[in-house]
Amino acid sequence: MPSTRRPPHGAVRRPSEGPRTPVRAHDRFLALEPERAEREWKRYEGTPQRELFRQLRERFLQRHAAPGRWALDVGSGPGRFLPFLGPSTVQRVAIDLSRAMLEFGRMPGRRAPAMGHVSWVQGDALRPPFSDEMFSNVALVGNALGFEGEAGEGLLYAVERLVAPEGVLSLEIAPGPGERSRYLARLPASAVRRLLAAPPAAVLPRLRPEGFRPEPSRHRPIGFRRWTADELLARWTPPSWQVLEVAAVAPALGADQDRLAEVARDPRAWSRLIELEERLGSEADRWPDAAAVLLAVRRGR
């Protein structure tokens, strides 16, 4: 009887122990099951690390909400960040290849009541079923660009065309494995909590002399492409585009679960940590090794 064991995520196994061959991102996401949609929703909640990563993304999107009627979340998954895309009066649209992701996002309690009506569209963002320059706010978060692999260039072009004049495009890339402060990593967790209760201006001089260390490399699916901030910034030049912000996600404590859990016990220290992460994330030296970089650009008239 043939084996029913599932192949590794992102690949198929040929008979006779043949080489692993890539599965197109399109096919991989079309086949996602409801359990994967639930895991995607929970990816940003349940631990201080996940809460930190979620809050940094939410605050970034809120800072760059552009006035206008329509907002689009490309590769939305279950719509985790939809409530933070555009002003409160905007009409939001989510597009994703996966029906399971969209159905999970529609479930009661998955979105803020104030978000209003959402249009859930199953479709391919490489060929979006929307008019050019239709959306004042467009988001491509969750590393969807990297997962497209070599098709990422086409996805980026398709998404750029959807942004209205003076509209904002916000997206996320994954340049490296991530990093964290060497100074904070050698302090006991309780000392980190006490230190971070101070304003970021008092903490930063202690971090910079020892620098930052990269996290261990993480597995990426076959075909994943690591975009860099520099290649996108070279693409987005005036007058066609104006760069609003570039921010590495969580370079201070990174994925340090123990120290993040200790800091989360003190609301003041947690608030100051958010400020510290955003201050450090704005520095260009933090972008090349970041596990995630957020970029926001405004389209010219």
- pLDDT tens by residue, the chain, 301 residues: 444 443 333 343 333 344 444 445 555 554 556 667 677 667 778 899 999 999 999 999 999 999 999 999 999 988 889 999 999 899 999 999 888 889 888 887 666 556 678 999 999 999 999 999 999 999 999 888 888 888 899 999 999 999 999 999 999 999 999 999 999 999 999 999 999 999 999 999 999 999 999 998 877 777 788 999 999 999 999 999 999 999 999 999 998 999 999 999 999 999 999 999 999 999 999 999 999 999 999 999 9
**Residues 263, 253 contacting (CB under 8 angstroms):** yes
Q: How far apart are CA 294 and CA 51, in angstroms?
A: 17
Query: Cα dist. 152→111, 155, 171, 294 in Å?
Result: 28, 5, 12, 16
The ranges assigned to domains in the chain are 34-177+216-251+286-299
For residue 294, the cross-strand partners are: 172, 247
Instruction: Give CATH superfamily name and number for 34-177+216-251+286-299.
Output: Vaccinia Virus protein VP39 (3.40.50.150)
Q: What are phi and psi of 60, to 5 degrees?
A: -60, -50
Q: How far apart are CA 81 and CA 58, in angstroms?
A: 7
